[in-house]
Amino acid sequence: MQETNMVRNIAIIGHGNCGKTSLAEAMLFTAGKINRLGKVDDGNATMDYEEEEIARKISINTSFHNYSWKKHSVFLIDTPGDDNFLNETVFASHVCDSALFTIGAVLGVKGQTVKFSNIIKERKLPTLIAINKMDRERADFHKTVDEIKESLAFNPVIVQLPIGAEDNFKGYVDIISGKAYLFDGEKGGVQSVDVPAELASEVASLREALMENVAETDDDLIEKFLEEGELTEEELLAGLKKGIAAAALAPICVCAATLNKGTAPLLDIINDLMPCPSDRPPILAKKEGRDEMVEIQPTADAPFSALVFKTMADPYAGRLTILRIFSGVLQGDTFYNSTKKTSERFGQLYVLEGKEQKPVESGGPGMIIALAKLKETATGDTLCDAANPVVLDAPEPLQPVISFAVSAKKGEEEKVFSSITRMLDEDLTLRLTRQPQTKQVLLSGVGRVHLDVVGAKIKRKFGVQMELSTPKIPYMETIRSSARVQGKHKKQSGGRGQFGDCWIEISPLPGGGYEFEDKIVGGVIPQQYRPAVDKGIQEAMEKGVLAGYPVIDVKIALVDGSFHNVDSSEMAFKIAGSLAFKKGAQEAGLILLEPYMNMEIKVGKDSVGDVMGDLNSRRGKVMGMDSADGLEVINAQVPQSEILSYATDLTSMTGGLGSFNISFSHYEEVPAQIAEKIVAEANKENN
């Protein structure tokens, strides 16, 4: 097992189409871990191996690999850049020691870029910025750097200045050493050359700025810099490494991943400047069963602790549990799960290499380890030494924001829903619920693409197909005023007949649900029949009167009636109660209610006007505004029927920067014109 100071654990993070997976591919190829440079567009990239990823040409799952470079062991975590799979990035950011933040030199900083940089800022992750795609048409290094400085939550410092761009991207100047290099060969190597004359003054200026930025992070260095105006290369490197580890500085380097240009210098920077696990601050954990906090030292000789941050479902291999080791060494055949308060046996340890699993004897700090077929352990669990039980803080999964009704072909229902249940273990942003009013089963997720991918996985892995459809809105019915009505059920067809007769008073009960009051005086309806009236009314309320939706917020008083010694029965009075309620509800004036949702929407300042206007067009009510993390927060209440596709619409309006969460608020009357259409459609469907 590698010494902890020679281990690096780095997550490649960035918005969609910035070349993260291509960069991971180039890094693995340059380090000799893979023997060919695969391409995302060709469907043969090592890190994008799921069929859904190959078909869509995007990363959907976090994928893992590792390589050795100049005696260092580096664990790579390649994260998706699409909003539909943002939860993968959130969880990866929780377990990595540093981030390789990738930005395309053509697209530059987009809304999603800001969102991803905020995740890194929140975690205080040491960050290396790679400006990728320097070989592409319209690639612009300086424009991209300006956008980074203006929009992102980093303190960027340039450590590599590109020589050329687009077709002429041929090398870089190392600002730390002041030396220039040209790219050499397919393996991402370089050869030393003189600094181009036209770049000399810019290099001098950038080196001065780098020294100043580094000095400002350290009291001793700032004192020397102010006195002498210069730092040695050793001081500059040491100060830069310290500043990066504290997340106070983010170095910028350049590359063209698909051509494997700039990759070897990038691997050197990861070794030389990015922190090892023991460079990171101790992690705080709770002592099991207590509120007392303890520090977890990220060293191999500390007690073992690890966090499970991902579970993968496989129809053949079973569940694959993926964990990050924070301290100590995992070996042997047993660990203690402090979250579940149980010990569990395990078999072989693996490190993940794309879709392959490589057996290893043990794992230490910084390593990403996989275990197969665990029964008790799930995502978010802490694994530790039984003699030193602690509970690590696990990230909260993103809340689902879009729901669809899910169904299956006749005869496949059980298999489809058991497959979805297995996917729930793998994907914590999925929810499977039953809507009692509409009787539909709902599958909720982060976006439509997210749910489509879940469906594709289920079809591929388990051989069944789930069908998604727009969910019915759980409307309700209620009454406007009061009424006094009779419900009478009389039937005579030879032999014993049926007779039930009741008078009820029906009135609104805003927010009260349902209340039944027995006001019968004397024995006009015997005691044993009165609960049957109540039951008949409740069944009628459940089925609805206006459009088949449940009736709520009604008070019923049973005030009078009559019975027959022979023909009366509980069933007769149940029917009488139902008839009375339907008649009374119509006389009291039925109205349709719709669910309103609380929405908290985070957007950039430039998008506030568009989003507010859009909310108004959806009959929404803006309740207030706030600011957080450099974003504007809009709080609103909006009818559920108006936001079924809001996740997609908000992405379009905000360039990917917008996000929102949603929760039920209250029911409110549907405007008459809209209610007429809903009632007409419901009655047409029910008939």
CATH architecture of 283-392: Beta Barrel (2.40)
The reported pLDDT for the residue numbered 432 is 94
| pLDDT score of 314 | 64
Fold assignment, 477-588: Ribosomal Protein S5; domain 2 (3.30.230)
The burial of 507, by beta-carbon neighbours within 10 Å (0-12 exposed, 13-18 middle, 19 or more buried), is given as middle
- CATH, domain range 402-469: 3.30.70.870
222: buried, middle or exposed (CB in 10 Å: 19+, 13-18, 0-12)?
A: middle
pLDDT of res. 687: 66
d(CA 50, CA 62): 11
Structure token pair of residue 684: 């047409």
pLDDT for position 1: 60
Residues forming beta bridges with residue 595, ordered by sequence position: 667
Query: Is domain 592-686 in CATH 3.30.70.240, yes or no?
Result: yes
Does residue 381 contact residue 337 with C-beta atoms inside 8 Å? yes
Query: With contact defined as beta carbons under 8 Å apart, do 384 and 414 qualify?
Result: no
Q: Tell me which residue of 291, 290, 15, 284 sits closest to 144, measured CA to CA.
A: 15
Listed by start position, the domains of the chain span: 4-195+245-279, 283-392, 402-469, 477-588, 592-686
Does pTM surpass 0.85?
yes
Using DSSP's 3-state secondary structure scheme, residue 81 falls into coil
- Check for a shared fold between 402-469 and 592-686: yes
- At 431 the pLDDT is 94
**What is d(CA 19, CA 14) in angstroms, rounded to the nearest whole number?**
9
Stretches in the chain below the pLDDT threshold 70: 1, 41-42, 48, 314-317, 494-495, 687
Please name the residues in contact with 233: beta carbons below 8 A apart, sequence gap of 6 or more: 176, 177
Strands of 19-71, DSSP E = 63-69
DSSP 176-197: TTTEEEEEETTTTEEEEEPPPG
Give residue-wise pLDDT tens across range 632-663: 999 999 999 999 989 889 988 988 888 999 99
Which CATH code fits 4-195+245-279?
3.40.50.300
pLDDT of residue 188: 74
Q: Which amino acid is at 39?
A: K
Tell me how far CA of residue 107 lies from CA of 19, 48, 112, 138, 154, in angstroms.
11, 22, 11, 9, 19
127-132/98-104 β-pairing: parallel
User: Could you give the CA distance from residue 243 to residue 586 in angstroms, rounded to a whole number?
Assistant: 73
| SS3 letters across 362-402 | CECCCCEEEEECCCCCCCCCEEECCCCCEEECCCCCCCCCE
C-alpha distances (whole Å) from 316 to each of 200, 312, 313, 416, 527 are 59, 12, 9, 17, 63
- Cα pseudo-dihedral 262, 263, 268, 274, rounded to 10: 100
Per-residue confidence (pLDDT) for residue 574, from 0 to 100: 96
The residue among 266, 300, 306 whose CA lies nearest residue 285 is 306
